[in-house]
Structure 1
Amino acid sequence: MSSDPQPGVSFWQELKERRVVRVALVYLAVAWALVQGAETLTRVLDLPEFTDRLVFALLVLGFPVAIVLAWAFQVTPDGVRRAEPFVLTGRLRRSLLVGLGVGVVAVSGVALTTFAGGRSDGGDLVGTSLDAHLVAVLPFRVNAPEALSYLGAGFMDLLAARLDGEVGPRAIDPGVVVAAARHDGAGAVLVARGLGAGRVVTGAVVGDRSWITVTAELASVPGGERLAGASAAGDPDSIAQLADQVIGQLLSLSTGEYPTSVALLTSTSPEALRAYLLGRQDRRLGRYYDAILHYDRALAIDSTFALAAIARADGSQNALAAGDGGGLQIAARYRDRLPPRDRQYLDARLPETPRTGAEWRATFEQLTRDQPDRIEAWYWLGEHRIHERGIVHGPAWVAAARTVFERALALDPEYIPVIDDLMFLAVHEGRREDLQRLARIYVNRDGREVATHPYRGLAEGGDMVLEPSTLPDADANGIVVAPLWPLAFTSVVPADFLPWIEAAFREARRRAGTDITLRTALGNEYRVNLALGRPARAAAVREEAIRASVIERHGVMTIEDALWEGVALEDAEATVRRIDERLRGVPETSLSVADARELTAAELWRYHRDALYQSAATPRRIRALAARTPHPANLDLEAHALLLEAWAQVRDRDARAAESMDRLEQILEIEPPGDNRRPAFKLSAATILEEQGDPSRALDMLDRISLWTPQQYRWGLASFERVRWLRMAQLSAQVGDPSRAVREYQRWLKLHADAEPSVLPEVEVVRAELARLEGSR
């Protein structure tokens, strides 16, 4: 038994003397007022959903602190001083310690539960699978006259109806959301979480009978991270238009649009905006041709929609079946309607004067510094680095391109245009783990597995899966790209890829004149057949294309095809004669840039066909034209003159040949627009370097040939690939790099599995050389 005299009474008296009871009552009264004020301010100021719960949790946690301070200190006329200690003994001490422990746990639990959303037993929700494509729209809070109270449910219904899953997430039925909110009494995030929604929309309406302001917020579930915000103001009777503005802003920001552009977007028609957002969504997810159709739809509805026009031009970079539709020119006509950020982007994409490759690179580097959060800026810088290999090539080319694309991917980990390029680099470097990681993102993009895409095999750590039966379901872009997979991803395509290519040819012909042009279908078939060592079949396709007026019989390309692929020799001879006859005797002052390029093609024909040929007349004519041609076209003309001068100097054993080739390489590093970028031009430059006895520089020249650019696609995406690969293998062996030589020979042989009889002797020579190299390793 305790000997403490009336401990309960003495302790209670001590509480009163120290004014602990008074402090507790005052604290509770003030806390109640603060909670009411927080709830009101949350509605009026449209503060985050958790604001009032946060205030309540802090007040709960502060209550024991206030009690302890009231017990430990006393307010006297001399100021605040520490109170005299009160000695607790026996049963009273044990009881108080247990009570304090229970109280601390209880208070902490209440605070944490409140802040988490109003329930402490949310275990039934933890295991719920959340769908990022599902959104719960809660009733909007209304701080307006009672007559406008209907707006809370009204805006919920209007927004939910517009979130149909075609653009952005799909809304849960409003009735289900309301029922869940009433039953649970929880916060917005927990309501959405309980319904399996990965997104939640909350909002508020503030105003009077004549004018209201609507605000809304899209947040993630379960984290509650703010993804986008929106606001609109107007007459209460215009709630449909206000809902359109709000949903337009939310969807625009959630699909990667920039806040400065949203005002422009929401000022256009809802139908045009919807089409534009569908296009952005489809391009982001790699549905390139569908994106083009949506952008065209947006421009058909509103021809002044400058952002849609820019997006149309951007999308054509990936949609090989579609031209750019004049998108940048349309945007330029209405550039004054664009915000400054988008005007700068347009100016970067559409220069007032032609640029060299180096100038393009500097422009996009500046754009990434000015707009580091704009994924398109990083994408275009990466595109420049991956394709314009005259400036940066070799190992540095790969590293520079990968660094930029990885920076872009950090902004949006599912941006498929960037993943496409990173996958190409991973194949080029032989980085299988990176390739598998990227392929997994690709085939599971937007949370939905693409069961029929060729990448699904890569995602599982194997090779591409090329099933011809899937081609009829592919879009136009997929059909155009299909026969190019073996050329671009040779090391990861199965050995039996030929049925896939033939099926792609047939499907492209079937669709010719609908969503694929005949020019595209026949041009693709022609170039790929050449790359596979099937010149007879390629020649037959070429004749068909000429009869259909798809290509010309006589032109610079005819000369190049004859030189490097051995086709159309008679047409090439006739083309050279036509050029000579047309331009013979034409004064230098009357020559055009196009004339100079034809003169160069005719001269290269003679140099390649006659080992003793050399002439100084044509380069003099071209230099005279270059002297009166503005930058940067003058650099392209100078490159043509240097190529011809260097070849003549090499054959004449003139020491100036080295200076000419040095200057030519300087120009190629600047990348002026023009024919110097063409594969055939650099193949000729490599031939001169070989004649000069410099195989290392010749190999470096071949490494400068650009890959996968839209310009190269117009000339033939696979132009002279088989020639380039073979030359790279031969030169690699000469410079003491047998590993690369083996890789290039293996790729060449894999693609010549169905070579025609005329090519088989060459195939046997390559097999013998490959066996020799493998036997010496």
Structure 2
Amino acid sequence: MNPRKFFGELRRRNVYRVAVAYAVVAWLLIQIATQVFPFFEIPNWAVRLVVLLLIIGFPVALILAWAFELTPEGLKRTETADAEHLPTRSRTRTWIYVVVITGAISIGVFYFGRYRSSKQSESTELPAKSIAVLPFENLSRDPDNAYFADGIQEEILTRLAKIADLKVISRTSTQRYQSKPGNLSEIAKQLGVANILEGSVQKAADQVRVNVQLINALTDAHLWAETYDRKLTDIFAAETEIAKTIAETLQANLSGKEKSAITARPTENSEAHDLYLRGRYFFGKRTVNDFKRAIDYFNQAIAKDPNYAPAYAGLADSYVLLPEYSGQRADESLPKARWAANKALELDSNLAEA
């Protein structure tokens, strides 16, 4: 066959149009597969299968375009269709519809891809193994038990901070947020974390109830929640269990040393522990009188348990900051701070607070 006649025949049988239309639709389907499939957690092999089928289908589409033509009466062989001279206007109109619909879908896929990419970049900017422990709500009937809720929050945070594979935001950064804030996503962005731990504490006599829930702040999904009913003498075990479960949920790796650190019991004396928590509570208020009250409580805790390392660390912290807030000479309190810090490290060389 004459090459000119052959190419003319390709044009007459709309093979060129089919090739262009097939390429446009194939591109569109590939875009949909790459953008939408991950959204529904469809595996990657499905995308590869779509691409492979489209490649195989290309020569098949060209052969069908050569042999057949779509007419108002249905699919007919090209010779028959030519004999009836299908109106050009009908073909043109159909072609316009195909282009418009394809363009509209392409725009939709484009903007969906941009939206999804922005969401992905937003989530990838925040480490998955990152957490902020917000202030715990005091549900006790006695409002004076707020010190206990604050203390439990701080001790859980301290245990989590001993896990190197976790990014844990300091208590100083989280204290400005209320215990049950409305916009967790915004708070997470401000703190640079992907996860938030909320909680509440209810203390009555020698019993305590701790409610905690771990939330992925980006998706607002509840990853884990639990209620712990314990005696005051067993509160350290609850804190340890909470820290371990959070580490497991966020898939943080723990070394043997870190496992020992988060299971440590700083004291067996529940009275000393209670006095220590009161000391930390007043220490956090940052006033001269509150520093003095904190020092008094830390000394009482040490009197109950002379081997209570965190109490010595709290005493050292109070003596260090007292001159800054009171205006008294530093040489009066710094020797006491140095002695308390050395004692804390003597009792526990791995104590972060010291």
TM more than 0.5: no
TM-score (norm 2): 0.33
Q: TM-score, normalised by structure 1?
A: 0.16
Which of the two has greater strand per residue? Answer: 2
